[in-house]
Amino acid sequence: MKFETRLTDDLIARYQKSGHWGAETFYSILTARAAAHPDRVAIVDRGRRVTYAELKTRVDRVAAGFAALGIGAKDVVTIQLPNWAEFAYVFFALERLGAVANQIGPDFRSREVDYILRFSESRAFVCPASFKSFDYLKMIGELRPGLPDLKAVGVLGSPAAAGGAQGLVSLDTLIEDATAVASPGAGQRANDVMRMAFTSGTTGNPKGVIHSHNTTLSTCRTLNADMRVTPDEVFLIYLPLGLNWGYLTLVQALMAGARAVLLDQFSARAALELSQRERVTYIPTAPASIIAMLNEPDLARFDRSSLRVIITGGASCPIETIREFRARMHGHLIELYGMLETGFHTYTRLEDDPEAVTGTVGTVSAGLGLRLIDESGRDVAAGAEGEIAALGPSVHLGYHKNPSANAELFTADGWFRTGDLGQFDRAGNVKIVGRLKEMINRGGKKFFPREIEEILYTHPKILHAAIVGVPDPRLGERNCLCVIPRPGQRLTLDEVVGYLKDGVATYKLPETIEVFDELPFTPTGKIQRHVLVRRVLERRGP
């Protein structure tokens, strides 16, 4: 596989000179941690405790096993595993072979998996036999005849795979093979492409984003420094490792020589129980999970005193939720803005006055640039809203096999257009005001749903709310409120309109209401508004 990237000698020299890029790779970091603290626990997973020495040994064994299957330099291996320690074994083993790890979430199904395997020209696919009652073996068995590039399927937890049935390879066997010796292989350098991941697909087909060790490690290193992470940190990771933020948090933990506690299926109770048992200090999370924990009936019974840093991101956290968190939970609540393409871009800081930064995502991460630009790429006027553009050492190396997206989303001088709209407050903190493609256009009057959603989250009967524009032959779009009421509550459109009408323009008011038991979130907490629109239309019929 050949990867076209944005790398130039000038770009490398710039970030080496600034100190954000160097010669480190993940395996070199893991080797150093295992040598210095072999018996320290690196990963906790479903009662298992894996030390740094054991982690390195298992990474080496998996590397040897994949080499024996013919996986080598530049080959793409797609990993679809839950938050289990085996994800780390496979992901980090590929570096030893010079191969590229392609991470996908465990919730992806046949349409997404087929597209991603085909588009990435994956040479191997790694999955569990089953998870959350889904049969991954059946899925890949049906897809495999149409995937000529796929030479191996590694399966975790399948007796059939252990016997080599249907060309399957047992990942369990590779991990436990004490005779396996990993050859040096092609290895990787710090500026080589080491991973690929796909955008969350809130609109259209996902795009393949490529990163090097340097773009990945630089963002983790900076956030660790700003959050004062030490080897004593205990991270709770329920964000999917198959998606960007969960993976980056695992890297943060292992870079620091700290402990990563994995949770493969989030529930508020499970997260609180693990936090108490493992004395968790650091949690990255989507706002929806914070809301779930705050609404856990037994919240007060759990010891939350160990919590030091809780970072919320993926979607804007409602201001009301932030204030409730500060009243009822422990630790610093940090608001973070980032994305697969840019890494951790802006965030509030431990030393910030909480009330002063509430409703913002803080200031720019060290080494990164942030501009607010208009459609022509020019800076907007002071105080105005504009599209957030990013430049810096953690910005991705480009979209794989997608020159049109690269041309469209990178400016001529190298700034990446995020598609998010922001605004600076007087103190220089960034406010996220919406996404370009989330704007609702009702009869020529445009607004961003977040403005109304912020108000709705203060309503005592509302647990989750999302405003979407549904097609209308006269106005183009009409406003539909999709809502999950709090337990035991009923909600009417008249109630909601009455709550809002004195505070917002009439064209922003909900015109219809749809009550749901759940909303379609991406695993990182973004509302999939196009999916929500489709569900509303399906309810209404032809």
What total of structural domains would you count in the chain?
A: 2
Asked if residue 207 is part of any domain, the answer here is: no
Asked if residue 487 is part of any domain, the answer here is: yes
User: For 43-71, what is the mean pLDDT?
Assistant: 96
Domain containing residue 497: 439-540
Mind spelling out the 3-state secondary structure of 353-386? CHHHHCCCCCEECCCCEEEEECCCCCECCCCCCE
The answer to whether residue 352 scores a pLDDT higher than 90 is: yes
CA distances from 368 to 248, 391, 394, 419, 428 (A): 17, 6, 8, 17, 15
Read off the pLDDT of residues 305-342 as tens digits, 9 standing for 90 and up.
Answer: 999 999 998 777 888 889 999 999 999 999 999 999 99
The answer to whether residue 446 scores a pLDDT higher than 80 is: no
Q: Give the per-residue pLDDT at 176.
A: 93
Asked if residue 104 is part of any domain, the answer here is: yes
Asked if residue 454 is part of any domain, the answer here is: yes
Read off the pLDDT of residues 122-140 as tens digits, 9 standing for 90 and up.
Answer: 999 999 999 999 999 999 9
Model pTM greater than 0.95? no
Last residue within a domain, chosen from 168, 188, 208: 188
Element (H, E) at 277: helix 268-278
Mean residue pLDDT of the chain comes to: 93
User: For 216-224, what is the mean pLDDT?
Assistant: 98
Nearest-10 crossing angle of helices 110-120, 136-143: 50
Q: Give the per-residue pLDDT at 203.
A: 45
Highest average pLDDT, of 72-76, 450-454, 529-533, comes from: 72-76
Last residue within a domain, chosen from 141, 157, 188: 188
Residue scoring higher pLDDT (184 or 76): 76
* Residue 481, both tokens: 């409120």
For residue 493, give the CATH number of its domain. 3.30.300.30
Read off the pLDDT of residues 16-38 as tens digits, 9 standing for 90 and up.
Answer: 999 999 999 999 999 999 999 99
Q: Give the per-residue pLDDT at 200.
A: 62
What pLDDT band is residue 502 in, cutting at 50, 70 and 90? Answer: confident
The answer to whether residue 161 scores a pLDDT higher than 90 is: no
User: For 460-479, what is the mean pLDDT?
Assistant: 91
Asked if residue 193 is part of any domain, the answer here is: no
Last residue within a domain, chosen from 188, 214, 238: 188
Q: Give the per-residue pLDDT at 439.
A: 82
Asked if residue 443 is part of any domain, the answer here is: yes
For residue 142, give the CATH number of its domain. 3.40.50.980
Asked if residue 294 is part of any domain, the answer here is: no
Residue scoring higher pLDDT (203 or 187): 187
